Amino acid sequence: MTANGIIRTGIGGWTFDPWEGTFYPDKLPKKRQLEFASRELKAIEVNGTYYSSQKPATFAKWAAEVPENFVFSLKASRYCTNRKILAEAGPSIDKFLGQGIVELGSHLGPILWQFMGTKKFEPDDFEAFLALLPKDLDGLPLRHVVEPRHDSFCTPEFVSLLAKYNVAAVCADHADYPMFADVTANFVYARLQRGTDDTPTCYPNAQIDKWAKRLETYAKGDVPADLPLNAPDHNPTQTPRDVFAFFISGGKVNAPNGARLLQKKVAG
């Protein structure tokens, strides 16, 4: 066992016009943008899978274009999570998982199940949803992370449910959405969303330093002391954990710069 888990920083997607000539070299063909981005960063969160299905050949193509230790986090289909009764999401979950994501192989990172801000915490129904999430797919291990956006989830009961199923919650650094810094799985997943386009590194350097320390703390198996917990009495097993941190939405123009700087500051 290594002393620390692997820390991977990244961005949302790889196609964004303002990155052309800034993050991407001048005149780099669009078809080579993934190849370039995957060698500058260690992970990319794919948003397109939230809106529509992909073909197995597409996932295979992505996997062929990236280096060995690079991973894709996939945002699960909105049809799985945008529903009144989550316990009835089984067919939609099966459809999402069955579209060919196994073609990513070892390049498959966590699957992100994102909920609307109006979705409230109903313990029995949410546990029924967690029970639908398989631990593997055709022998490929799966890691699941949920992103609730309603304050009703900020309870020890929610944290306990996640720990029961080894599912993580997004540690969201956001102006409006709740943050779940509690450790409930064998990995940690952060979405850093307070950046600005006026900041060359998306986040100010001082904030990137703070997040670097937090990510390293998580990777060692501890919990950062400067982040709020929803279940202070929850004591996760102290063991090295892989950590994912994505610069998303706020400050998107400079998100690649933030991800690269943060990666340089962490030991991973």
Structure tokens at 255: 């998100």
Going from N- to C-terminal start, the domains of the chain cover 7-265
| In the predicted structure, residue 3 carries a pLDDT above the cut 90 | no
Predicted confidence at residue 1, as pLDDT, reads 41
Closest CA to 186 of 147, 121, 244, 231: 244
Per-residue pLDDT tens digits for 49-96: 999 999 999 999 999 999 999 999 999 999 999 999 999 999 999 999
This model's pTM is above 0.85 = yes
Interacting residues of 124 by C-beta distance below 8 A, sequence separation 6+: none
Q: Write down the residue that tokens 């073609």 correspond to.
A: 103
pLDDT at 136 over 70: yes
Domain 7-265 has CATH 3.40.50.1820: no
Going by C-alpha positions, the residue among 172, 182, 114, 179 that lies closest to residue 148 is: 114
**CA–CA gap between residue 164 and residue 159 (Å, rounded):** 9
